[in-house]
Amino acid sequence: MDQMKKIRLVSNSFYNTGLELARIRDLTGAVQYLQKCLNLNKYHIEARNLLGLIYYEMGEISEALVQWVISMNFQENDNRADHYLEQIQRKPERLEVVSQNVKKYNLALQQAQSGSDDLAVLQLTRVVEANPKFIKAHLLLALLYISHEDYTKAGKSLYKVLKIDKNNPKASWYMSIVKARTGKAEIERRKIKNAFSHRQMQDDDVIIPPSYKENTGWQSVLNIGAGLLLGAAVIFFLVMPAATKKLNNEHNQEILQYNEQLNQKNEEISSLNNSIETYKSDKDSAEEQLNNFLNSNESVVNQYSILVKILQAYRNNNLTEAVSLYAGFNPALFTDEKDLAIANAVKQDIETNGYQTLEDLAYTMWSAGRLSEALSYYQTCLSIRPDNPKVIFNMAMINRSQGQTDTAVQLFTQVVTQFADSEYADRARSQLAELAPQSEAAGAPGQSMGNQNPSGTEPSQADSGNGGAAGTGTAGAGAAGAGTGETQPAADETQAPAGESSAPEESSAAGE
C-alpha cells in the first residue's frame, strides 16, 4: 500500500468520525476531526462542505462561506457547496444581518475588555436575538452574567449553547461554575447517589396500590377555583415581576444609551462653540489689522489716496487744499518708480511753492481755535524748514495756551539759543520770564490760571486807556491775557480774525 493511499484512508477515517460526532451534535469534536482530515487531504470536498455546515450551525456564517468557496475552487461541478452558496445569495439581507452581528459582537468584546459590561451585555443581547445560534456570543454573554453573579441568565445562555453543541468545552466549564455557585451540582450528585442506593425488591415484597376515590362535582369546582387562584398568584408574584424587571432593564439601557449620545452631542456643541469663538476672534483681529492698514498714515493705500487727492487739488488750482493734505503725506512709502517720482515732484513743489500757504494754513487753524491741527501744520512746516524761529515760537505759544508748560519752555529756549539774532529771541525771553514764576507756583492752592499771561501779547488800544500807556511792554500783557482768556497767534503779514485782539507780533511792533 502506497503512502498516498494510507493518507487518504486516515483522512477518510477522520471524516467518518467527524460525521458521527456531528450527528450526535458534538459540533466542537466534529470540527476538530474534520480539520485533521483536511490537514491530511485538503481536496476532501465532503469534509470541507460538512465543516462549512457545522460553522453555519454554530452561527459563524463567514467561516462557513470561506470553506464553501474553497470547495468550489477545488471542484466546480457536482458540488453541494454550490447549492449552499446559492441559498445564501438568494437572501442578501441575511448576509447584511450577519455582518452587523459580527461587528456588534466585536464591539461588545471590546467593551467587555474595557470594563463597560452593561453596554457589552446590551450589544450581545441584540446579537443573540438576531442570530440565536451564535455560540461565541452566547458564551461571552454567559461569562458576563457569571461575573455579575447573575447565574440564572448565565445558565439559560449556556443551556442554549449545549443544546446546539452538547460537548462544547467552554460551555461545560461555565455550566459547572454556575451549578457550583447555585447548589445544583450538589443536588444532582445526591440524586445520582440516591438512584443507585435504593434497595432492590425481593420476591416476597408486596406492592400496596394507593386508594382510589371518585371526585364529586363540588370537589371539581373547588379544584378548578384553586387552580385559577394558584395560576393568578403565579402570574402576579412570578411572571409580572419578571416582566416588569425586564422592561425596567431595557428602559435603563435605553436611558444609558441616550445619555451617552447626549454627552457626545454636548461635547460636539462645545467644540463647535469654541471653534466659532476662535474664528470670530481671528475675524475681528483681521478686520482690525485691515482697518489699521487702510487708515494709518503708514499705509501705502492711504498714501496713494492722499497723493490722488493732492493731484486733484492741483488740477482744481487749490493749493491750500493740497498743502493741508501734505501734512500726512510720506513719499518714502512708495515703491513703484513712477509713483515715487510723482510723489517726490509733489513734495518738492509743495516745499518750494506751498510752504507759505502751509504756514498761513497753520495760522488760520490757530486763529480758529483748532490748536491740534495748527500744531500738526506747524510741525510739517518745521520738517520742511527746521530753521524757522517764527514757527517754533508759534508752536511754543500754542503749547502754552494748552497748558503744556514744559514743552513751551523747551521751544522758547530753542528759539533763544538757536536763533539769538532773530526778532523772536527777545519775545521768547519775555515768555520764559513769565513762565518761570508760573512754573514755580504751579502747585500753589488758590492760584488760578486766569492770573497768568497766556498770550504774552501787548494790551489792546482799549485796555491801554484804562490800564496805562500802550508802550508798557509785557507788563500789561497779563491783563490782556486775563481779559481774553485765550492766546492769539503771532504772524508777520496775516491779520488776526475780525473781532479778536491783534496778533502777538503786531502788538509787539506797536509797543516798540
pLDDT band at 182 (very low <50, low <70, confident <90, very high): confident
Average pLDDT over residues 469-484: 30
Question: What is the full DSSP assignment across 424-487?
Answer: HHHHHHHHHHHHHHHHHTTT-TT--GGGS-SS-PPPPHHHHHHHS-GGGGGGGHHHHHHHH-SP
Specify the higher pLDDT residue, 13 or 385: 13
pLDDT of residue 215: 58
pLDDT band at 430 (very low <50, low <70, confident <90, very high): confident
Q: Domain 96-185's class?
A: mainly alpha
Beta-carbon contacts of 367 under 8 Å, excluding residues fewer than 6 positions away, are 488, 489, 496, 497, 500
- Residue by residue, what is the 3-state secondary structure of 327-364? CCCCHHHCCCHHHHHHHHHHHHHHHHHCHHHHHHHHHH
pLDDT in tens, 74-103: 998 888 999 999 988 888 888 888 889 899
Orientation angle between helical segments 300-315 and 319-326, nearest 10 degrees: 160
pLDDT surpasses 50 at 315: yes
pLDDT surpasses 60 at 484: no
Architecture of domain 3-90: Alpha Horseshoe (1.25)
| 110-119, 306-315, 320-329: segment of lowest average pLDDT | 320-329
Task: Report the percent of the chain where pLDDT is more than 90.
Answer: 24
How many residues belong to the chain? Answer: 512
pLDDT of residue 397: 92
pLDDT of residue 450: 33
Specify the higher pLDDT residue, 254 or 212: 254
- Note whether 312 and 327 are within 8 A (CB): no
Average pLDDT over residues 434-451: 49
Average pLDDT over residues 219-227: 85
- Note whether 22 and 30 are within 8 A (CB): yes
The CATH number, out of the four listed (1.25.40.10, 3.30.70.1050, 1.10.10.10, 3.30.300.30), of the domain defined by the range 307-440+452-511 = 1.25.40.10
Would you tell me how many other CB atoms lie within 10 Å of the CB of residue 102? 19
pLDDT surpasses 50 at 491: no
pLDDT of residue 185: 52
| 128-137, 192-201, 309-318: segment of lowest average pLDDT | 192-201
Average pLDDT over residues 366-387: 86
Computed over every residue of the chain, the mean pLDDT equals 76
pLDDT surpasses 80 at 363: yes
Q: What are the residue ranges spanned by the domains of the chain? A: 3-90, 96-185, 307-440+452-511
Identity of the amino acid at 50: L
| 141-145, 371-375, 498-502: segment of lowest average pLDDT | 498-502
pLDDT of residue 269: 93
Task: Report the percent of the chain where pLDDT is more than 70.
Answer: 74
pLDDT band at 199 (very low <50, low <70, confident <90, very high): low
Average pLDDT over residues 442-464: 34
pLDDT of residue 382: 80
Question: What H or E segment, with its residue span, contains residue 18?
Answer: helix 3-23
**Domain pair 3-90 / 96-185, same fold:** yes
Residue 221 has, within 13 A of its CA and on its CB side, a CA count of 3
